[in-house]
Amino acid sequence: MLTNCGVDTRRSRVINIYTMSKIRHIAGNSLIQFTFYLLFTLVLGGCTSYIQQEKVPNVFASYSSAIPVKLVTIPLPVIASSPNEGITGGALTALLFHNKNDEIDALVAPQVNYNANFGVTTTVYGAFYPTPDRNIEIDLSQSTKINDDYDFKLRDKTYFDKKLEVNLSTFVFSDGSARFFGFEAKSPQQQETNYTDKEVGFNLSAGYDIGRHYQVILGERYRDVEIEPGAVKGIPYIKDEFGKSAVPGINGFATHAERISLVYSTLDSAIAPTFGGFAKVTVEPAFKALGGTSNFRRYEVETKGFIPLDNASYISVFRLMYSQTQGHRVPFLEQSILGGEDTLRGYGRNRFIDNSFLLCNLEERIRLFRWEVFNVTADWELAPFIDLGAVMDTLDKARANDFEFNPGIGFRAIVRPNIIGRVDMGIGRDGPAIFVGLGYPF
């Protein structure tokens, strides 16, 4: 194995161990000092290694070649703040396995974080791209207090001459930061409550291509939800503030739903598109006869467009989306919901809930430069955005003053064709919100 780290790797490991031992103490006292320790580790820890292909498990190198596998190891600080979770600090190490075309074949990222509400969280995230038409994601996360998350995702479009696409997602998680403010567009911040959202379930779909741009998708999903006391001190428990009969699903619920969607797409990439249009219409009925708590129906329409300029140095992006839920006593977490990193980025997740929502996202993705860091070439983007949306009973009852206007700015690093890291900061009536994650918001 050939290694080019530019530093004494034994010393780097010692510094990483020392840094992680300081996480809990520093995060509670000085975020600036904590950031210094993590950035110090980052500077000393970058490493590129070359390993003979036969010594690498197939899951990390899915090809056969005499060319050694390039492994890039990048330690990174984790500093995030969101309205629901609060401040989280920690460190991760990204292990990037490259194929013979110098594209990322697999990503493994162990990390340790500290949050005042959840204690120390240990996570291992893995993303594997054996072929352009098949990818797998695994997320294993456990906190010392309440929170946990165990996910598996599979996308496979290798069947029937690549006309059939199968997607499977299974999950078991507990989120002690969940919030509920009541229903309707102007639910006041003073009604904020906290709870733990415990869920187990799956989401399965099969889509078949019709012609060049159309796809019909049949899907099924199941989720079992329990509502328990949350982890955030100083915020009332949902069951203490809202009557059990006033909030459907407050005592837990199950949903078993079938789904059919029609998709039209001219996008040049499913993960990091730079050009094209997308439209999707979905009808999803849920049935008590299949083990659900209630009967209801969801109708959803989504359109997206990507307009590149100057060889995709500037990409104007828009999304327009409408959702309508109909039924008797639909569980509150199954109604139409806005708020969070993928909808209204000026608010925490599940901030606004009602029977329907209308959402518009506008974003300008500006490539600032292309930079090679630790032998990985990444496009660095600046993305000013505007999120505009509101929940309502039905679309004809929408009022202009109910809409939330969330301006903001995003920073992204893209390792094409499949890795996107992002930081988005939006501003809403409750103050700023910052989200850190993987993948584009839409």
Side chain identity at 202, as an amino acid letter?
Answer: F
Single-letter amino acid, residue 336: S
pLDDT at 432 over 80: yes
Residue in 310, 390, 381, 375 with CA at minimum distance from that of residue 343: 390
The pLDDT of residue 381 is 97
How many angstroms separate the CA atoms of 272 and 312, rounded? 12
pLDDT at 9: 34
CA distance 81 to 175: 16
How many CA atoms lie within 13 Å of 439's alpha carbon, on the beta-carbon side?
Answer: 9
Average pLDDT on 177-198 reads 95
Lowest mean pLDDT across 7-21, 165-179, 381-395: 7-21
Whether residue 32 is predicted with pLDDT greater than 50 in this model: the reply is no
Q: Determine the pLDDT at residue 52.
A: 81
List, for residues 272-306, the tens digit of each pLDDT value: 999 999 999 999 999 999 999 999 999 999 999 99
Structural contact between residues 304 and 362, judged by C-beta atoms closer than 8 angstroms:
no
Instruction: Give the mean model confidence (pLDDT) for residues 202-217.
Output: 97
Mean pLDDT to the nearest integer, 313-336: 97
Average pLDDT of the segment spanning 21-33? 43
Q: What is the dihedral of CA 31, 35, 38, 43, to 10 degrees?
A: -170
Mean pLDDT of 196-206: 98
State both tokens at 54: 């036969």
Identify the pLDDT of residue 292: 95
404-413: b (≥16 Cβ within 10 Å) or e: bebbbebebb
pLDDT of residue 219: 98
Residue 327 near residue 285, CB atoms below 8 Å: no
Q: Read off the pLDDT of residues 42-100 as tens digits, 9 standing for 90 and up.
A: 444 568 888 887 778 877 776 666 778 888 898 888 888 888 999 999 999 999 998 88
Average pLDDT score over residue span 318-337: 97
CA distance linking residue 440 with residue 438, whole number of Å: 7
Structure tokens at 285: 């009925």
pLDDT value for 55: 79
- In the structure encoding, which two tokens stand for residue 152, read together? 């598996």
Residue owning tokens 């600046």: 382
Q: Does residue 433 have a pLDDT over 50?
A: yes
What local confidence, expressed as pLDDT, does residue 148 receive?
A: 98
> What single letter denotes the amino acid at residue 17?
I
Which residue, among 162, 171, 163, 293, has the nearest Cα to 215 in the 3D structure?
Answer: 163
Q: What is the mean pLDDT of residues 319-336?
A: 97
Average pLDDT in the chain: 88
More confident: 5 or 229: 229
Mean pLDDT of 399-423: 93
